Chain A
Amino acid sequence: SQQGEEDPQALSIQEGENATMNCSYKTSINNLQWYRQNSGRGLVHLILIRSNEREKHSGRLRVTLDTSKKSSSLLITASRAADTASYFCATDASQAGTALIFGKGTTLSVSS
């Protein structure tokens, strides 16, 4: 069964607005990662947050993690047209030898 589920599935905003995507997961994790995928391309790692961290920033990105609710959010501030992409969360269950499992992703469209 899928470990991570993103919400919403699709998001359309205007340039300059903030975009928030959420990820929920089912089992205890070691860390949670967010990746971006431009259409027809490979995935690009954005940020990794460990289970003992609550918030992390990288440029215009802010990620939060709430292990009690088994959820994470990715906030992109002051969005640009170049942010148009699909965003995936990926989790590894805390058991050793468990694969990194990707959610279905949120498709973000930023129009100018």
Chain B
Amino acid sequence: DAMVIQNPRYQVTQFGKPVTLSCSQTLNHNVMYWYQQKSSQAPKLLFHYYDKDFNNEADTPDNFQSRRPNTSFCFLDIRSPGLGDAAMYLCATSSEVWTETQYFGPGTRLLVL
């Protein structure tokens, strides 16, 4: 009954080597979010899609991009990962923005060597 699926669960990449994380949902929700969470910190919103409309947070580095080819899938692209990008990346969905419950995937832990 998985509702928000993230692949892979663990990703190891090299410094500067592009990496893509994927998220899919079976909830048919309008909104998909990507969060970055570093150790012992709060999840930090990177961006979200409302349907096909992309909304970038002001302090999200240009190194982070996202694609949403259809309702079910959303991708996080890190163009040139740095050591500081090592973190847990969480995908979440909701039927509408902000005032609704968000459903999270299990996360992808990214390690940058």
| B104 in complex: contacting residue of A31, A44, A104, CB < 8 Å | A44
- Is B16 in contact with chain A by the CB < 8 A criterion? no
Residue-wise interface mask of B (88-113) relative to A, using a CB-CB cutoff of 8 A (1 in contact, 0 not): 10101000011101111111010000
Q: Determine the interface band of chain B, counting residues with CB < 8 A from chain A.
A: 20 to 34
Q: Is the interface of A mostly helix, strand, loop or mixed?
A: strand
Stretch among B37-45, B62-70, B71-79 lining the A interface: B37-45
Interface residues contributed by chain A, number (CB under 8 Å): 23
> Measured between alpha carbons, how far is A42 from B33 in the docked complex, in Å?
13
**Residue numbers in A under 8 Å from B88 (CB-CB):** 40
Cβ of A43 and Cβ of B101 under 8 Å apart?
no
B47 to A, closest residue via Cβ:
A99
- State which residues 7-54 of B face A: CB under 8 Å: 40-45, 48
A-B complex: 4 closest residue pairs judged by Cβ atoms: A42-B104, A102-B42, A92-B98, A43-B104
